Amino acid sequence: MWSPLGEADRGDRLSIEPRLMYRTVLHPHPVSRFKSLTVVAINLTQTELHYVPGRADIADMRANLDATNVIPGRVAPGDLDRLVVVFNGGFKPRHGRWGMRVAGQTLVPPRDEGCTVALFDPGRIAIRSWTALSERDDPIESFRQTPPCLVEQGKRHPLLDARNERPWGGHDPKRMTRRRSAIGIDSSQRVLYYAIGVELEPSELAQGLIYAGVDNAAELDINWSWTRFLLMGRPDPDAPLQVTGTLIPEMVHQRLGYVQKAIDRDFFYVTRRHSESQPAETLRHAGPAG
């Protein structure tokens, strides 16, 4: 059951027609109903995905982005009028040294085994292992790497089938209320997915994504404080642009974060496309049932 995401009463921009995102909840564990996976399907024909490193990421790498239009930790000013959603990036650069590039500038070199969220001009996206992307002729404008792909070409990573989950943060029986996020794309390249699992292990997260219709997927950040999917808008016409809603309850965030206050950790954000001339499409292709 997919339902449109965004509430007009809160002032969410996602409540404005045409609707861009749809939400569902899955329970990929065969027995437990406590474990859940909330999935958002994003219409890529009418949206654009952007990537920004965090303020602390840049400080750790001693990188200089003065030659670009990127402001570490903040949405680009030129995109604020079209901004609808912000969601978390991946592990800190010091945790695994997974590759990062923004606006054509490589901040951390890519690793062959890294699952790579690649952004091309104009607005095209691919999620694959680096070795599957590095030989393409078209240049990658920005990318963010994560541990190996949870799902690639419709199949779970072989290590997950072998019950080796260490590359994705593993299992910690002493940690309660663990959250685990992911980004994925379908085989048509028309639907992007964000997912957040509660108490899911990496193998369960991957299986839930396959259930939802994902062809390729990368794990993003994990744990309570760093997993967030935030809806942007204005609670009243005179209010500043701000976070007006969260995908699931109790997501840690700052009300004016990303738009007025720079954030330490890297993130992705979604904007409406400049042109709205093409007819709106519902996400009738999202999910395995069509």
Looking at the domain assignment, is residue 277 inside a domain?
no
pLDDT tens-digit series, residues 132-170: 998 777 889 999 999 999 999 999 999 999 999 999 987
Confidence of residue 290 (pLDDT cuts 50, 70, 90): very low
Radius of gyration of the chain (CA): 18
pLDDT tens-digit series, residues 191-205: 999 999 998 999 999
Q: Which range (56-65, 96-105, 247-256, 264-273) has the least confidence?
A: 56-65
Q: How many domains does the chain have?
A: 1
Domain that holds residue 149: 3-272
Looking at the domain assignment, is residue 155 inside a domain?
yes
Please tell me the predicted confidence (pLDDT) of residue 282.
Answer: 40
Looking at the domain assignment, is residue 288 inside a domain?
no
Looking at the domain assignment, is residue 79 inside a domain?
yes
pLDDT(238) > 50: yes
pLDDT tens-digit series, residues 172-187: 666 556 899 999 999 9
Looking at the domain assignment, is residue 282 inside a domain?
no
Give 8 or 92, the one with higher predicted confidence.
8
Looking at the domain assignment, is residue 207 inside a domain?
yes
Please tell me the predicted confidence (pLDDT) of residue 285.
Answer: 40
88 bridge partner residues: 267
pLDDT(96) > 70: yes
The percent of residues in the chain predicted with pLDDT above 90, rounded, is 75
Please tell me the predicted confidence (pLDDT) of residue 155.
Answer: 97
Looking at the domain assignment, is residue 289 inside a domain?
no
Please tell me the predicted confidence (pLDDT) of residue 158.
Answer: 96
The average confidence (pLDDT) of the chain is 90
Please tell me the predicted confidence (pLDDT) of residue 261.
Answer: 96
Looking at the domain assignment, is residue 280 inside a domain?
no
pLDDT(46) > 70: yes
Please tell me the predicted confidence (pLDDT) of residue 279.
Answer: 39
Confidence of residue 123 (pLDDT cuts 50, 70, 90): confident
Please tell me the predicted confidence (pLDDT) of residue 284.
Answer: 41
Confidence of residue 78 (pLDDT cuts 50, 70, 90): very high
DSSP annotation string for the chain: --EE---GGGTBGGGSSSP-EEEEEE--SSS-SS-EEEEEEEETTSEEEEEE--HHHHHHHT---TTSS--TTS--GGGGGGEEEEEE--S-TTTT---EEETTEEEE---TTSEEEEEETTTEEEEEEHHHHTT-SSPPSEEEEESSPSEETTEE-HHHHTT--GGGT---TT--S-EEEEEEE-TTSSEEEEEEEES--HHHHHHHHHHHT-SEEEEEEESTTT--EEEEE-SSTTSPSEEEEESSSS----TTBTTTB--SS-EEEEEE-S---SPP---TT-STT-
